[in-house]
Chain A
Amino acid sequence: MSDHAVRTVELRRDFGTVRALDGLSLDVSKGTILTLLGPNGAGKTTLLRILMGLIEPTGGQAFVLGEPARSQPAGVAGRVAYVGDRCEPPTWATPALLEGVQAGASRSFDKALFREFCKRRSISPTRPYGAMSKGQRRWVLTSLALASRPELILLDEPADGLDPAARKALYDALRDHVNECEATAIVTTHIIADVERIADEVAIIDAGRVILHGPLEDLRDRVRQVEMSGGISSPELVDLASVLGGTRLGEMSILWIRRNGVSDEELLGRLGPDATIRHVGLETLYLAIAEHRPAALAESGKGLE
């Protein structure tokens, strides 16, 4: 059996003349939480909808739990859950009713767990969906998905409309589910602090392609911000690190790099004593990549020197 819960190869999807996915290749290991980061329109939702079999790719391949996503056998479909904007129940549906429907649809559905989730946010089983706040709706839908104990859970902006305490509760429940069931989760969000709290792996996508993908611990371990007055020439670093982005602030050159098996001390030795090397949080890294990628710099005519 493959160790990947999800695998996409050169996935393409066009909507008319708009290319939403442009050769997106991504492997997601079992038992991990992958967060997808990227600007609006990067292709995150399109990817999730293809994985769920809701839409078909224009080209390339997508596999979910070892089966092609576009023709998921019923057995696989029941092991995957999706919560997104466009799959809402009717306004008159109550948690009690949703519970009954879900129990009929999914053998592994855990009613007691679902009730416990609703109780945690004081949502009455008889409250109609239409009368709930945005945050309560998200909570109920995500709870339904988690209580179905899926092997793969796809959550599109699950924290949308949730207050910080509810967000933490939701992500704690997600982590418990992933750890207890060795399940896999793909989560999209724009809240970078949430990514830092929950992600095992991070994939940054832009214009339908993967720009950076790796374990978050590895990014924390290896990505650094280098600051120096004057220029830093990338050839000095070429065998030690790959350059993810760079910019200049007055006299200061700032580079974001990923070390290749060298220590910070060795890097400093190469760059000289007036260089400063810092750890970077994910937000800095994300902005560095989104705004200061070498390709983006080349396009705008600014070098890294």
Chain B
Amino acid sequence: MYLHLDHHSGEPIYRQIVEAIKYQVASGRLAQEDRLPSIRALAEELKINPRTVVKAYEELQHAGLVVMRHGQGVFVSVNHGATPQSVRQKAIADMARRMLAEASRLGAPKDEVLRIIESEANKMEPEQ
């Protein structure tokens, strides 16, 4: 499984793994019941401590996105709370929250932000 890690961003590595796997579920690249790499294999591939992988997998399990089956491995959960669509919506909500917080620091009211999003989206449409 390809995961890009940035060791220099200040963002914890376990959280980068969590986000990357959430992203793969949201984009449909990982489907329900897909098996994730074993803790040992992912640690070896990413050249990190296995405990970091454990922490990431535990957090994903806590979020209901994966299940760890003892002796069998780690699987993308079939839990309805973790459909690609709901994960995707949550990821986009996180982005929106960050953007609104930045915009409010610039003194921009909410409707100005919404207007700009809409006009940018319209500009992109003809290219698609």
Contacts and interface: CB of A to CB of B under 8 A. Distances in A.
A276 interface: yes
B8 interface: yes
A273 B10 CA distance: 23
A176 B8 CA distance: 21
Interface string B44-65: 1001111110010000000000
Interface in B3-53: 7-15, 40, 43-44, 47-52
Interface residues of A, number: 26
B86 interface: no
Contacts of B55: 217
B13 A217 contact: yes
A217 B44 contact: no
Nearest to B97: A265
Contacts of B7: 193, 196-197
B104 A179 contact: no
Given A179-B44, A273-B104, A279 B50 contact: no
A238 B13 CA distance: 28
A220 interface: yes
Nearest to A176: B44
Contacts of A172: 47
B105 interface: yes
A175 interface: yes
A93 B109 CA distance: 72
Interface of A: 31-33, 171-172, 175-176, 178-179, 193, 196-198, 200, 217, 220-221, 223, 273-274, 276, 278-282
The 5 tightest CB contacts between A and B, nearest first, are A279-B10, A220-B12, A196-B7, A175-B47, A197-B7
Given A193-B7, A273-B105, A282-B8, 15 more contacts: A31-B49, A31-B51, A32-B49, A176-B47, A179-B40, A179-B43, A179-B49, A193-B8, A196-B7, A197-B7, A200-B49, A217-B14, A220-B11, A274-B105, A281-B10
13 contacts: A33-B49, A179-B44, A179-B49, A193-B8, A196-B8, A197-B7, A217-B13, A217-B55, A223-B10, A273-B105, A278-B10, A279-B9, A281-B8
